[in-house]
Amino acid sequence: MASRSPTYRLLAGLLVTLLAVGVYSGYTIAQLRSLQRLQTGTIDRNRLDSLLLLRIQNSLNSLALAMRDMLDTDVADSQRYPLTAWQPQFRRIRTDLEDALAREENVAAAERDTGQRRYLADSFRQFWDSLDRVFEIAAGGKADEARVQIRNSLQARQAALNADVARLLVANNASERTAALRTQELYAGVERNVYVFLAAMLVVIVTTSLYLVQYVRRLFTQVADLSEQRRELAQQLITSQESTFRSISRELHDEFGQILTAIGAILQRADRRARREGVPATEDLREVRQIVQSTLEKVRSLSQALHPSVLDEAGLESALAAYIPSFEQRTGVSVAYEKTGSDRGLDKEVSIHLYRVVQEALNNVVRHSRSTRAAVRLRFDAATLIVEIEDEGIGYPATASRGLGLVSMRERTDLVSGTIEFLQGKAGGALVRATAPYHPTETHAGD
């Protein structure tokens, strides 16, 4: 049963992964925006508000110092500045305070309720009203009464304002610490989510990879099984073919050859008897004898073509030495035969398959190369036998790789654990190089 394609599962896994990435990205973006709002809306505003409150506090301290100098008792009355002389300094401080208060109210509008803002504004307005009355009293020549008002009213109001501003600063600091903790929590949450997301992606990747590895292994196993089945089938077909050729060759040689030989002998005896008895042999007898002789030669030639007996008796070298002259006579192609080294006990299976490779390659020379010359070279190395068939023709045609002859040669060399190469010769023609070990059974055992 064929395994199901993993395409739908992989697409489903990809969809789930994309959804997970989208959800995580949206959640992370929301957290980052929340962090941005917290930083810009709380932390930065609190810092600016604290700076403005410190400015207000400094101005209040300046007021306190100015009022202390106005009440300085260590200076004689004749050396004191008149109280009205302090009016420009208080006016400058008031202008700075009002500007700082206006800015601070805009910054802190979202964090402070209406009652707090109204209370602070009323407190400053009462302080400035009291200060104006003090300067009016001082302008009327009542400096001592004005100083009493400063000591009893203005200094108390200034201290109360300073305390209010200090409380606002404390509240801002507390709010800033809270925002800092919240920021740390958000950062920790984002970092935790990153780790969780990475772990989840790692699990998805590992799971997908393992699934693909298992699927690919199953595919390779199936391909290997199919390849092995194809190899066994090809071996069985070629073995069956060789067995059939051998059986037909034997039948032709043993049965028809003997019959034709017997007929020839009978005709020859009849001819001798006719001559001895003085009766001339008729022309028909001679014609029959010639036909029988010709048929006998064709049967022997066909028997050798199907399965040369010399291959079993004397080996590949002698079989090629006997085949090449008949090939030259039959086709008109001149073949140069060359041998290097000596036969080292070549296996019969290797011999027959390499013999068929040479046959097929020489037949291709006749059919396709347009060459009148070819070369067959045998080289016996230490562990392998190399056979080369080279021509001086046009090389391989475009459809050569799909030819049945080349496929058959590949199958035969593969059956003996050998290799075959289809190369270009030195003269530009086709070069077939087959390499095979001496004993293929040993090589199969090691697979």
- 183 has a pLDDT exceeding 80: no
154 and 35 in one domain? yes
Q: Which residues form the domain of 347?
A: 314-446
> What residues contact residue 362 under an 8 Å CB cut-off, 6+ apart?
327, 333, 335, 374, 376, 389
Structural domain contains residue 199: yes
**Cα–Cα separations (whole angstroms), residue 242 to 109, 314, 353, 357:** 104, 18, 9, 13
Query: How much is the average pLDDT of 277-300?
Result: 66
Structure tokens at 151: 């000591």
Helix (H) or strand (E) holding 440: helix 440-446
Domain count, the chain: 2
- Whole-number mean pLDDT of the chain? 78
- 445 has a pLDDT exceeding 60: no
189 and 42 in one domain? yes
Comparing 235 with 116, which gets the higher pLDDT?
A: 116
> What residues contact residue 269 under an 8 Å CB cut-off, 6+ apart?
none
* CATH at residue 432: 3.30.565.10
Query: How much is the average pLDDT of 313-332?
Result: 85
Tokens 């810009």 sit at which residue?
40
Tens digits of per-residue pLDDT, 247-262?
A: 666 666 565 666 667 7
Q: Pick from 179, 212, 245: which residue ends a domain?
A: 212
Structure tokens at 412: 């035969």
208 and 325 in one domain? no
Structural domain contains residue 219: no
Comparing 1 with 66, which gets the higher pLDDT?
A: 66
- 447 has a pLDDT exceeding 60: no
DSSP label at 307? S
Structural domain contains residue 273: no
- Give 143-164 as a DSSP string: HHHHHHHIIIIIHHHHHHHHHH
As a three-state string, the secondary structure of 69-108 is HHCCCCCCCCCCCCHHHHHHHHHHHHHHHHHHHHHHHHHC
Structure tokens at 163: 């305390």
Query: How much is the average pLDDT of 205-234?
Result: 78
Structural domain contains residue 248: no
What is the model's pLDDT at position 390? 93
Structural domain contains residue 124: yes
Tokens 């001592």 sit at which residue?
144
Query: How much is the average pLDDT of 120-139?
Result: 87
Is there a contact between 174 and 126 (Cβ–Cβ < 8 Å)?
Answer: no
Q: Count Cβ atoms below 10 Å from residue 150 Cβ, excluding itself.
A: 23
Tens digits of per-residue pLDDT, 7-40?
A: 777 777 778 778 877 887 787 787 777 766 666 6
14 and 157 in one domain? yes
196 and 68 in one domain? yes
Measured distance CA(385)–CA(436) in Å, rounded: 5
Least confident of 158-162, 167-171, 262-266, 336-340: 262-266
- 190 has a pLDDT exceeding 70: yes
What is the model's pLDDT at position 249? 64
Structural domain contains residue 232: no
What is the model's pLDDT at position 124? 87
- 442 has a pLDDT exceeding 50: no
Measured distance CA(60)–CA(98) in Å, rounded: 11
191 and 318 in one domain? no
Share of the chain above pLDDT 90, in %: 8
Tokens 């740390």 sit at which residue?
184
330 and 205 in one domain? no
Comparing 265 with 37, which gets the higher pLDDT?
A: 265
Backbone angles phi, psi at 376, to 5 degrees: -120, 125
- 344 has a pLDDT exceeding 80: no
Tens digits of per-residue pLDDT, 67-98?
A: 888 887 665 555 567 888 888 888 899 899 88
Q: Pick from 212, 234, 265: which residue ends a domain?
A: 212
Query: How much is the average pLDDT of 253-277?
Result: 69
Query: How much is the average pLDDT of 88-110?
Result: 84
Q: Pick from 187, 212, 237: which residue ends a domain?
A: 212
**Cα–Cα separations (whole angstroms), residue 286 to 261, 263, 298, 299, 348:** 15, 12, 18, 20, 43
185 and 46 in one domain? yes
Share of the chain above pLDDT 70, in %: 76
Least confident of 153-157, 240-244, 290-294: 240-244
75 and 192 in one domain? yes
**Cα–Cα separations (whole angstroms), residue 15 to 19, 232, 331, 399:** 6, 44, 68, 45
Comparing 273 with 181, which gets the higher pLDDT?
A: 181
Comparing 309 with 134, which gets the higher pLDDT?
A: 134
What is the model's pLDDT at position 406? 81
Query: How much is the average pLDDT of 256-285?
Result: 67
**The pTM of the whole model exceeds 0.95:** no
Structural domain contains residue 221: no
Structure tokens at 303: 């028997």
pLDDT level of residue 419 (50, 70, 90 thresholds)? very high
What is the model's pLDDT at position 431? 92
Structure tokens at 2: 């064929």
175 and 58 in one domain? yes
Tens digits of per-residue pLDDT, 351-380?
A: 888 888 998 899 889 888 888 899 999 998
Backbone angles phi, psi at 148, to 5 degrees: -60, -40
pLDDT level of residue 184 (50, 70, 90 thresholds)? confident
Is there a contact between 325 and 387 (Cβ–Cβ < 8 Å)?
Answer: no
Structural domain contains residue 329: yes
182 and 35 in one domain? yes
